[in-house]
Amino acid sequence: MRPSVVLLRRPLPARASYPRPGPARVWKGWLAAWPGMVAAALANGTFRAQVTQPLLGETAARQLATVLLLGLLVAYQWWLSRRLPIATWQQAVAVGVAWTAMTLAFELGFGRFVEHLSWSTMLADYDVTSGRIWALVPLWLLVGPAVIRSVQDRPEDEPR
């Protein structure tokens, strides 16, 4: 009979007691993490074009891709916020504004100058009256850091 090994772990202190990194480090870290979000979006778009669009059709595939990307973005921002917690609500809003601006500039700039798409073609993705829900992605990028910050900073005994 082998002796059992008991691993004793000390419980971790509450999240609020961890020292927060300085504002400059958080700001740079969140801005440096933006390409990770772009990579997730590009992988999601490739999956849509190769897998779901032939099966579901364009509108349903785009809606599914948007929902999947929102899930990926929530998970990515949650993970990032655990590693680089944002100290203030104002800083979270500033990160959201920066991420949204960079995303729209990239999306519209790439579409216009690399893919040579018309403005009307690119803006069609934002037409919710035709079933396009892509506008939820920049909206989430805008509010996501602040929402995740507020959810993660709740004390454990506070009702959710």
Q: What is the per-residue pLDDT for 156?
A: 57
Distances (CA, A) of 136 to 23, 65, 100, 160: 28, 12, 11, 24
* 141: Cβ contacts below 8 Å, ≥ 6 apart: 37, 73, 96, 99, 100, 103
Domain positions in the chain are: 22-152
The mean predicted confidence, pLDDT, of the chain is 87
High-pLDDT (> 70) share of the chain, %: 82
Determine which of 7-21, 68-82, 109-123 has the lowest per-residue pLDDT on average.
7-21
Distances (CA, A) of 148 to 46, 73, 109, 127, 128: 27, 11, 29, 27, 25
* 16: Cβ contacts below 8 Å, ≥ 6 apart: 153, 155
Does residue 95 have a pLDDT over 80?
yes
For residue 150, name the pLDDT band (cuts at 50, 70, 90): very high
Coil vs helix vs strand at 14: coil
DSSP element (H, E) containing 30: helix 23-32
Dump pLDDT digits (tens) for 54-87: 999 999 999 999 999 999 999 999 999 999 999 8
The whole-model pTM stands at 0.80
Cβ atoms of 77 and 144 closer than 8 Å: yes
Q: What mean pLDDT comes out for the span 7-27?
A: 61
Q: What mean pLDDT comes out for the span 21-40?
A: 88
